[in-house]
Amino acid sequence: MTKPLKDKPSLLYSLPNLLTYARIIAVPLVVLCFFIEGKLQSSDTARWWALGIFVTASVTDFFDGYLARIWGQTSNIGRMLDPIADKLLVSTCLLLLAADTDATIRGWSLWAAIIILCREILVSGLREYLAELKVSVPVTQLAKWKTTVQMIAIGFLLAGSAGDKIWEYTTQTGIVLLWGAAILTLYTGYDYFRAGLRHIIE
């Protein structure tokens, strides 16, 4: 009976994995910014800090995978934590924006956030099931564009009321981009589900 492959200790603390760990740590830091904003009521500083942390974390999402590939430092823990870190960051930000004092995401816009969250849960469950069948579902180019639009939308929404004081259409732009991401989410989610369903039936 063969033993499962384990990551070398050096890979656990490689720069690509450290960037992934940092993205996970960014989640409670963004929550803390919103907590501070709620306590101070009128502080825009917390919004800008939340945006800065989010943008920095989003940039690491590109570099951890890129560096792991070119340096030959891909690891099991990196492959496992990378999508988890992404989903934690996106889900947390969407929930915070729906519950914050300014209600940045509200009304019909909540449906866009719900669509994105449901798709993430659906695809995660599908990937987990297919992994047991030794079937991998590659990330499509359109899914990458969806992620890009989604991240930009959340960035605008995190700036929110603070950003509106500099450019009055900041929040509105974020909402429009969020709906764009939701539409792409529906399409890519259906695409993944169709591909996964074919393997399930077979």
Other Cβ atoms within 10 Å of 30 Cβ, number: 22
Domains annotated on the chain, with CATH: 11-201 (1.20.120.1760)
pLDDT of residue 9: 59
pLDDT of residue 81: 87
Chain centroid to CA 129: how far?
21
Q: What is the pLDDT along the chain (202 residues), one digit of tens a residue?
A: 444 445 565 678 888 889 999 999 999 999 999 888 766 655 788 899 999 999 999 998 888 877 888 888 888 888 888 888 999 999 999 999 998 877 789 899 999 999 999 988 888 888 777 777 676 767 778 888 999 999 999 999 999 989 999 999 999 999 999 999 999 999 888 877 777 777 767 6
Kind plus residue range of the DSSP H or E element containing 13: none
d(C-alpha 20, C-alpha 78), whole Å: 7
d(C-alpha 114, C-alpha 186), whole Å: 11
pLDDT of residue 5: 45
d(C-alpha 41, C-alpha 26), whole Å: 22
73-105 in b/e burial notation, b at 16+ Cβ within 10 A? bebeebeebbeebbebbbbbbbebbbebeeebb
d(C-alpha 61, C-alpha 64), whole Å: 6
pLDDT of residue 163: 93
